[in-house]
A and B are shown apart, each in its own frame.
Chain A
């Protein structure tokens, strides 16, 4: 029975892939009146469906290990259905239907974790519903402008109408993406969700917001194809060589990534760190969408692909560590490299990609985004992005150091074993995919990015060969870079092992003493735990770390509750008051109406 359920579940997780391969032709489903759901697969949605098709089974395999009951499986299948409906939708109502199914099924999945608190659950569902209702509001504005729901460029749009259309839609998608200050729900839900499900939240759900943002640009007159005279640039003019409204979006993205990066460095919890890093990475993509040029959208798509792979890899690996040790905080772990070597390589590959370092594809995508910023001559943005991108090295380092190196800080970390195969299989597949994409960034561009760019009316990036990533500002050959890095790695590692044989281990980690005390095995000797504390001495960073949006939302909730309490006083439970109020309202209304009537 259980085996059958699991088999069915696995089959369901392959459904996005099946849709992607098999889908041909359009499907229409009438609801009522002139509201008809249209389903069709455009290249842009096909790209995001590819992400889901890749991610869904890889995230599903670890779930097989959980002693999850069938509701979890059913909800996950429903979530996949929601995402497919969202991506296949050729009209806004279908998009909304998919969006909502995705929202509430993921919420119910979130509730299945015993760690989820009321505050987390409420912030998740309320902010996501705010996003959904803003989307619906924007859709209705679109309907009143065009008289239909089909997704296509609006013919004629004034600046104010544009604001009325873009405002709610952008709010909806930015909440889903988790930009500052709308990110409240992201860290806590990624952290408290079931460990295997966090990967889906970060890798797949946040990409739907990206899809929405790109879709939003195609709605404007001229769309992306219009270059500077179309889309955002056509509506609100341009700044330097990019659209002025996109500049605002660019700053939203960069501020998000800076804030989230510093927050990530200061986290004590592995999953929270990954959550903030996820916000930061999606922030880069938001910036690139703001630029809106061919290079930028190409970079955004490529980065979305890479980020999906990386976050699946990292969250799955971390889930494996949590599974084997039961611990999630940096200060409790350490020295797992000997006990969980494959996981170590998973995190290593993951952080190299996350930091955007060659030879992995994280570099290629970030390079495209950087070049697009240079191309738009938005150099201040570029500088800010490089700042956050460099600061990201710190949390990447922490992610590899604290769990795997140094000194084991808890009995669990000392006795842990390698993660089970259900975790290792996706990890190895993802590592392979990342390395392959690093080797052949040109192939990635040709296969995944260029068809979308062509369909959007942008010039495809093109690439002279599989390995080569080419831009007008120069490029690089992934095979060469990989060979150099691989060669260096092999040389250094073999030297290390050769020389180590002759080195005597001079000391154990406990051969030190301070203040007259000699540490023993129970003393924490792990500096990964306190890392990031010193950041608080830097003025701006200290300010960022010292503040959060939690107070704002808490205040909002308090005010609403107070209003509720005040109004509840009306429902007093005393019939004489009810009658008195009814008569008073009657008399007042009569007076007003008679006076207004001029009698």
Chain B
């Protein structure tokens, strides 16, 4: 029997595998399957590329929209899904090859990791507000559990805090969904978008702001992101890499997808989204200057990059949007690399403090080199991928003759250099500071394989960004073209 290649597998396969976790645990197949599932789904995404380039795929489940529910796979969703599975595959490979992360190798993290990625896929793919809420909760709850996975004090505290703030975000989002349903009687996003203009203006504002706060908390925008450093610091670095690389990207996409679809004139939201993005960028980069803990520093840096992406997406021009999507890809890769390397360094030094890591670069030259490489990419220095995407965003702004975001982005990058190079210097310092070394041995050489893969990807995308150009521009058009999306779901409007 030939299985049809449909987007439903992105969600169904991880769920199926997760439910059978006890079986895999008995067969000792957990880690190969975790990696294999992601690779299979990555292959599926690749197989779907030609079809999606023609037209977006609509997968109806039982009843046709607007009454039924459906999955909507357009160019931008495909890009993100590919990114999620690529990142998850690299992480799974790392967990498989690196013996050191014992608490990520059992059946429980197996289930949670699969569900997290499935939830993110669902958020990106679904065409229905209530399903969106469900997937948001799936991703949220697995994220809470994942951050508390390492059952020490820090992990449990992080998990608890995450539950509290995540629930508040969910309440805001659910409130907005309820209001929308009351006003329009619809839950299908395209149908809601078609009717949204008919809602009274004050109600529109209330719905919009509830969505903004709910998704703003999840997407880590200032002033709703005060929880982020605590959670990233308490979680295992490998898990944090997934939060920063996959989870946030999904929420960010949902926020902008809804903003672009619901509002006939995106300029209404432009001032809010660009303002929040700019504030996030500036505040996070400044605060990061004084962080003595590597994980917190990376958390703030992640916030800064999210701010940059939000700033560029909020501008709603095709060039900045394509650049922002590209930057999402690059940021995911770079942060994955940074957090995983940080995990190795922290394990070796038995601490994440700056003083403890001093001089570690001479003992772990490869890890330190990869850290430098990823830092350069995050900073947007050529010839790495971060440069190409930042340049794309900047030229987008320059084309439109808008210069304040350019100044802001460059200033932010300078601040970012201020703290990244402080850590780089510390890694290569030859000081005679007392260095506390943990009992942990050096990681297995094979553990570096996924890290080197990421580094190679960063170099490749930096030197040859044209490889992704068509897909990125297509994705940007899909994200910005409101009319085509609505029409694609509901059929031609009278």
Q: Which residues of A contact B (CB under 8 A)?
A: 30-33, 35, 71, 93, 96-97, 100-101, 103-104, 107-108, 111-112, 114, 116, 118, 121-122, 125-126, 129-130, 133, 136-137, 140-141, 143-144, 560-561, 563-565, 567-568, 570-573, 575, 577-579, 581-582, 585-586, 589-590, 593-594, 597, 599
Q: Is the interface of B mostly helix, strand, loop or mixed?
A: helix
> Are A118 and B422 in contact, CB atoms less than 8 angstroms apart?
yes
- Report if B398 contacts A (CB, 8 A): yes
Q: Which residues of B contact A (CB under 8 A)?
A: 161, 164-165, 168, 172, 201-202, 205-206, 209-210, 212-213, 217, 223-224, 226-227, 229-230, 283, 286-290, 319, 365, 372, 376, 381-383, 387-388, 391-392, 394-395, 397-399, 401, 403, 406-407, 410-411, 413-415, 417-418, 421-422, 424-426, 428-430, 465-466, 469
**Complex contacts, A126 vs chain B, CB 8 Å:** 414, 417-418, 421
6 A-B pairs with C-beta separation under 8 A: A33-B319, A100-B387, A144-B398, A144-B401, A578-B165, A582-B213
Partner of A577, one of B226, B376, B391: B226
Partner of B465, one of A31, A129, A594: A31
5 closest residue pairs by CB, A with B: A97-B382, A140-B398, A133-B410, A564-B289, A575-B164
A102 to chain B, nearest CB (A): 10
> Are B383 and A101 in contact, CB atoms less than 8 angstroms apart?
yes
Q: CA of A71 to CA of B368 in the docked complex: distance in angstroms? A: 12
> Are B165 and A585 in contact, CB atoms less than 8 angstroms apart?
no
> Are A133 and B413 in contact, CB atoms less than 8 angstroms apart?
yes
**Complex contacts, B388 vs chain A, CB 8 Å:** 31-32
> Are B205 and A104 in contact, CB atoms less than 8 angstroms apart?
no
Q: Is the interface of A mostly helix, strand, loop or mixed?
A: helix
Taking A32-B388, A96-B382 as contacts, is the C-beta distance between A143 and B213 under 8 angstroms?
no
Q: CA of A60 to CA of B424 in the docked complex: distance in angstroms? A: 25
Q: Which residue of chain B lies nearest to A69 when distances are taken between CB atoms in the complex?
A: B365
Partner of B407, one of A100, A137, A577, A581: A137
> Are A575 and B161 in contact, CB atoms less than 8 angstroms apart?
yes
A142 to chain B, nearest CB (A): 9
Q: Output the residue of B288, B425, B469 with the most chain A CB within 10 A.
A: B425
**Complex contacts, B229 vs chain A, CB 8 Å:** 571
Partner of A585, one of B224, B395, B417: B224
> Are A137 and B406 in contact, CB atoms less than 8 angstroms apart?
yes
Taking A107-B421, A137-B410, A575-B164 as contacts, is the C-beta distance between A586 and B213 under 8 angstroms?
yes
> Are A93 and B391 in contact, CB atoms less than 8 angstroms apart?
yes
B70 to chain A, nearest CB (A): 31
Partner of B286, one of A32, A103, A563, A577: A563
> Are A568 and B287 in contact, CB atoms less than 8 angstroms apart?
yes
**Complex contacts, B288 vs chain A, CB 8 Å:** 564
**Complex contacts, B283 vs chain A, CB 8 Å:** 567, 570
Q: CA of A116 to CA of B428 in the docked complex: distance in angstroms? A: 10
Can you name 14 extra interface pairs (CB under 8 A) apart from A97-B387, A560-B286, A582-B172?
A31-B391, A32-B388, A32-B469, A93-B391, A101-B382, A103-B381, A104-B381, A114-B430, A140-B394, A144-B401, A144-B403, A578-B165, A581-B226, A582-B168
**Complex contacts, A585 vs chain B, CB 8 Å:** 213, 223-224
Partner of B290, one of A141, A565, A573, A589: A565
Q: CA of A35 to CA of B395 in the docked complex: distance in angstroms? A: 9
Q: CA of A565 to CA of B287 in the docked complex: distance in angstroms? A: 7
> Are B205 and A575 in contact, CB atoms less than 8 angstroms apart?
no
Q: CA of A140 to CA of B400 in the docked complex: distance in angstroms? A: 11
**Complex contacts, A114 vs chain B, CB 8 Å:** 430
> Are B418 and A33 in contact, CB atoms less than 8 angstroms apart?
no
